[in-house]
Amino acid sequence: MVTRSSNGRPWTFYALAAFFTLFVLFLYGPMSAIFILSFQGPNGGLTFPMNGVSLHWFGALFAQQRSGDFVGSFSRSIALAILVLAMTVVISIMAGLAFRYRFACATAVFYMAIASLIMPGLLLGLGVGLMFQFAGIRPAWFSSALGAQLTWTLPFGLLIMFAVFSRFNRVYEEAARDLGARQWQTLWHVVLPILLPGIIGVALFGFTLSYDEFPRTVIPIGSRNTLPLEIWAMTTDVTSPALYALGTLTTAVSFVVIAAALTSIALIQRRRARRQRGHPDARRGGAEALPRTAGVRVGADAGDA
């Protein structure tokens, strides 16, 4: 018999609650400490106790520094993350469309595509750097580092798109073709809008994984660091809370990107739910289930034909 407390809950509830609390503290405790210490006063150090509260060290990041290039490394990280995002989304969508059909060695191709997830990142970065060197291409953040980071982001993008396509109902495509839509019109006006939440998820993975990537980037990056590499270099030179301020800003950027992606997905789902309430036939999966804009456009194109 399970012992219960005065409010009727078993003791296991409190044990699990305590375990979850410890887990949250372990996960967010270090991040919280860095966040708090980044607001040290001008005479503050790297540890507690706090010596005043100010934004001094955030301003120091943008001032002339003896070591570190925050602005340059941050801009390179953002530019590289956007490139990785775009290529990950496009390649993942194309792969997801291709794997809907049967072809020879499909299973082998799939496992080869995700094999980089279990390989050491440093070795992958070394291999990519050597490959570009043999090809006569100078290592840089927009070439060899881009290729190295794609070995990390593409497997996640592929797995997400495979999961999304596995739940995709092809009746929408059939309805669009019945209305006279061409193949590219069906893809652009019907398939991609339905897959949009999954595409946003792939984009989120591509951006955040690239923005924070270190082991696969450290060797093929060339002479200009990205932000994680710059932070790593600053740990040996910078002995002020400016390093904590930099960590706080970079973490804030990640949270902003995640919040924007989740908000976009929520708005899309709310819009779809509102549209389905206004169109009861959408639940039956017929031609009426097509998005309003897609139906109008396809109908117009069919009439022109």
pLDDT in tens, 36-60: 988 988 888 878 888 888 888 888 8
Average pLDDT score, the chain: 83
58-108 pLDDT tens trace: 888 777 555 567 888 889 999 999 999 999 999 999 999 988 888 888 888
CA-CA-CA-CA torsion for 188, 190, 196, 199, nearest 10 degrees? -50
* Spatial distance between the Cα atoms of 93 and 165, rounded to a whole number of angstroms: 9
Residue 7, pLDDT score: 65
What is 31-304's CATH topology? MetI-like fold (1.10.3720)
Nearest 5 degrees, angle CA 70-CA 74-CA 79? 155
**How does pLDDT run across 238-289, given as a tens digit for each residue?**
677 888 888 888 889 889 999 999 999 899 888 888 887 776 554 554 444 4
In degrees, rounded to 5, the angle at the alpha carbon of residue 143 between the alpha carbons of residues 140 and 145 is 70
282 neighbors 289 (Cβ within 8 angstroms): yes
Name the packing angle between helices 144-166 and 106-114 (round to 10°).
130
181 or 305, which is more confident? 181
Q: Quote the percentage of the chain above a pLDDT of 70.
A: 86
Residue 40: strand pairing partners: 53
Q: How far is CA 302 from CA 180, 287, 294, in A?
A: 5, 14, 12
What is the per-residue pLDDT for 286? 46
Give the residue, 286 or 305, on which the prediction is more confident. 286
128-154 pLDDT, tens digit per residue, is: 989 998 998 888 889 999 999 999 999
Three-state SS at 109: helix
pLDDT of residue 237: 72
Is residue 227 predicted with pLDDT exceeding 80?
yes
Residue 291 has pLDDT above 80, yes or no: no
pLDDT bin (cut points 50, 70, 90) of residue 167 is: confident
The pTM score is: 0.78
Count the neighbouring beta carbons within 10 Å of the beta carbon of residue 203.
22
Distance of alpha carbon 45 from alpha carbon 75, whole angstroms: 28
The pLDDT of residue 90 is: 95
What's the confidence (pLDDT) of residue 6? 63
